[in-house]
């Protein structure tokens, strides 16, 4: 007796292999989209923060007490400036921290 077609076991094995491949592909695409969004957010934050740093390039900025809301014309949410005296010739290490959509970047400058 010749039977054509697939058995139930063969169909289940094929479906399980397809499900594993599909889940892996979905996970890979999801991570790629998240990485792209994160990279674009960080790039936008870097460009916006350099505008703020350029405003204070020639003058030493005042230290902030905590996070300060950004001016309306800036493309980031808040910023923070911390100064640490190095004790050498009056040089200070200044940390500029910028925040946008939960992403934070830090610049270290010396004045």
Q: Measure the N-to-C terminal CA separation of the chain; round to a whole number of Å.
A: 91
pLDDT tens sequence across 66-89:
898 988 888 888 889 898 888 888
Answer for the pair 106, 67: CB distance below 8 angstroms, yes or no.
no
pLDDT tens sequence across 53-70:
887 777 777 888 889 898
Q: Identify the burial level of 41 via C-beta atoms within 10 angstroms of its C-beta, where 0-12 means exposed, 13-18 middle and 19 or more buried.
A: middle
């Amino acid at each position: 007796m010749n039977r054509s077609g697939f058995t139930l076991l063969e169909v289940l094995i094929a479906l399980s292999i397809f499900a594993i491949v599909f889940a892996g592909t979905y996970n890979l695409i999801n991570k790629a989209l998240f990485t792209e969004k994160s990279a674009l957010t960080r790039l936008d934050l870097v460009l916006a923060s350099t505008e703020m740093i350029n405003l204070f390039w020639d003058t030493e900025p005042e230290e902030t007490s905590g996070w300060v809301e950004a001016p309306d014309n800036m493309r980031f949410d808040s910023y923070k400036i911390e100064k640490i005296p190095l004790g050498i010739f009056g040089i200070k290490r200044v940390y500029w921290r910028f925040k946008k959509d939960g992403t934070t970047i830090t610049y270290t400058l010396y004045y």
